[in-house]
Structure 1
Amino acid sequence: MVLLRLFSFLLGHVSLVVRGEFLEKFVNLAASRGIYLWDITRLSEDKVRVKARISDIRSLKQVARTTHSGFKIVERRGLPFLINSLKKRKLLAIGGVIFLAILYFLSSFVWFIEITGHDKLSAAEIKQIAAQAGLRPGVAKWQLDTKQVETTLREKLPSLAWAGVYVKGTKVIIEVAEKKLVQPEPAQGQPAHIIAGKAGLIKEVLVLEGQAMVNEGDTVLPGSVLISGEIIQEIRPEAGNQPLPPGQEPPPPQTVSRFVQAKGIVRARVWYEGYGECKFSETVEKLSGQQKTSVRIKFGPKEIIIAGPAVSPYRYYQTSQTVKSLPKWRNLAIPVEVTTVNYLEVIKERVNHGRAGAQKIAEQKALAAVKAKLPQGAKLVEQRLEQVNTGRGEDLVRIKAFVETIEDIGVVKPFQATKEDYVDRTHRT
């Protein structure tokens, strides 16, 4: 079917309005003689519109005489008619050829550069390094070495794990992947505490290195030291064999501090809270799937609409807009912008949930809100839903969700021990 229509365009086709009492006989007889008709549309009881190839017009006249019908050509389409039209307008044809030649020439250059995948690195920084390898707006595509650009990006930007350069029309897409930097651990030998990252009730303390500062059942706040990197050892001086004189007290014990990198696991009971609400009936907005696109060219302050509507044809709608401008050529800025505006139709529906439906939706929202706060690896112990009663007559349901977890709340916090900290310290008891 597609090939037949393509040949019909190349050879030329016409739209006919056929009038007569035996239209079905006209169509069937044409088909039996190998005449291809398409886009058959009935206009009235005695009138039908069809499309046919130019080469079949003479045969259709014989079919019309046989069926006592008549037809009239109302539209001509295809390459032969286009050529005839251009012959009458030579300047227009020459201008079209020149325009296509210029368009083809301009499509041989890179005009737009798009950066994707970057997070910490800026797009301007990546474009600057790419320019050193020859990738800049206005460069000819036959002079562009994408492999060299990829190599230069990886060499000049050590934080990149991978870089790919792809040419799509007049746009070059640079895809990058940055190295994931892991939180550095304390340097070897540097002392560190394990502190509480959040408030909780201590459930279990397992010390691998360091000194425990909390016990099971203790309540801690964020920042509290759980396992200390300072181990305090008590040293009692030797009294010898000589008895102490009457009335003289033994010397106080001495303490010596040893600093280590604290290691261990501290699990605690932690509580989270989430909130959700839903009205008994509400207006919901959603996209209908219908959209219209408007394409505009802006020359300085003047804007010309070349396709699509000037304003949204929908009463309720959302818009998305993309603006592309020609890059600077040396120091010359070309004040031309192409703007594409998509109008997406929005329909509003009134949905009646009822009390039971609203409560279910509010519970789902509350649980989703609280579970979004849970860290990875947290063990869920208990969850509870509670309806909030404000004492006012409201057409909505309010729900609070409470979740209890058991999780490791320890966070490593390095500290710097000074020389004075290493000196033995004496405490009187």
Structure 2
Amino acid sequence: MKGNWVAYARGYVWVKLIGEGAERFVNAAAQERIDLWNISFSPAGELTCGVSIPDFFRMRPLLKKSGCRTRIVSRHGLPFKMARLSRRKTFAGGMLAFVLALFVLSTLIWDVKVEGNSAIPEEQIRQAARAEGIYGYQWSFRLANAASLSQRLALRLPEAAWVGVDKRGTSITITVVESTKPEAKALEGPRHLVAKTDAVITRIVAENGRPQVERNDRVRKGDILISGVLGNETNSKHVVSKGKVMGLVWHEYRISSPLQSATRNLTGESTERSYLIIGNRALQISGYGAPAFEQSQIRTTIKKAQLWNKILPFGTMKELEQEVVEIGKKLTPVEAKEVGLAQARAELLAKAGKDATIKAENILHEQTENGKVMLTVLFEVEQSIEVERPIS
């Protein structure tokens, strides 16, 4: 019976019977249906057993008849626990207050998260939620069910296609699915497509309008490539010209590439500092007297304390300062030349547009002086050359 929850609730004791009538007592207890368990005899003939509290008081007449007496070895069960607590009222009151405070705190909403929004401002969503009673430190039992809250929020946010409310413990997550609206297109007036620079035409595709040039034609800046005027002088119609015109354009670049380059490398030496963060202030708590490096880079890691997914205004910060050295590298004129050309190509393609390709390059002048390679390069680039111009 030891370990039985019924016995624990009623309470039980371990007793030792002293006297020569232990066997008579056991037989009499069995006749009276007194439950004894884990009966054992010591070498001295003393009987030890477990008995519930109600049966313990029923044992007294039997003890007198058998000529034995008892000694309680240990007490167990809920009644004895409660008796101990009653003698320690302060502890019992503190435990009760803790349980009560934990229950009260668990009925509050500590954190409200908003997910899925991009076009709708988060502040607008939180204002709508507050109007429905969803905000931090709100009593959870005062809120309606999640389905009802979702419907009410959807009515307050007409820009949203769907709004979901998910309550888990002391946290609420509001998920917003925004409705997709077609982009408003500006009204387009009649226009030509003209050349934005001097070029030689390599390809022309007219989606709308009338082409004015052909492949291999040389054009100057401002020449009409695709006209927005259809028909003749007596019967004409103005339209919005659309299309793609590619042409060869020449760009002259002056490049200066140094013969000495420097790279920053980590030495492996580092030092770490720890801070205690309170609000917007940081108090250093370790890493004092660390050697200062001539050159270094610092990596910062911040960890804020949390309480039920709510970020608190204090935490810790660690700074890892790593020593950096600059290692110089001497380039040959050929290597410096290639580095300068590569940089010029990248800059040129970024300026010319995504469809641009370099067809040829010609070095007009090359000179090495004052630790630099000086280049003058003519690039031949195929790129888009059309630009819009309204029809006046």
TM score, norm. by length of structure 1: 0.45
